[in-house]
Amino acid sequence: MVKKIQHKSKAAISQFESELAVLKNRLETQELETQKANSKFDFSVSENEKLKKNFESEKETWADEKASLVTRAETAEASLAEATTELSDLKRQISQMVSAIFSKLSCKTSNLVTLQ
């Protein structure tokens, strides 16, 4: 009976050792998978940070370009307003000169007609 108990004990110990070896293998596999996942996660976070920095840099560049374009547009509008004012003044002066010239010709023509 002692031998039977010893045999059962050895069989139980052997089974536990076998199960323990399987569990150790699973644990090692899970640890490797966890390390791979952590590595991928760290890489993703690193890439995300790079993209974020690039985006922030581009965003600043866009803001600078926008400010430059707004300044150029305001300058162009001011120049256009000056040119419009100058052209309006020239138009008024030309109209006055045309009126003056044609009114003198009109007077001379009517004087000639009355003299004849």
pLDDT, tens digit (0-9, with 9 covering 90-100), for 34-74:
999 999 999 999 999 999 999 999 999 999 999 999 999 99
- Cα 34 to Cα 37: distance, rounded to the nearest angstrom: 5
Is pTM, for the whole model, over 0.75? no
Q: Kindly state the tokens that stand for 44.
A: 């993703």
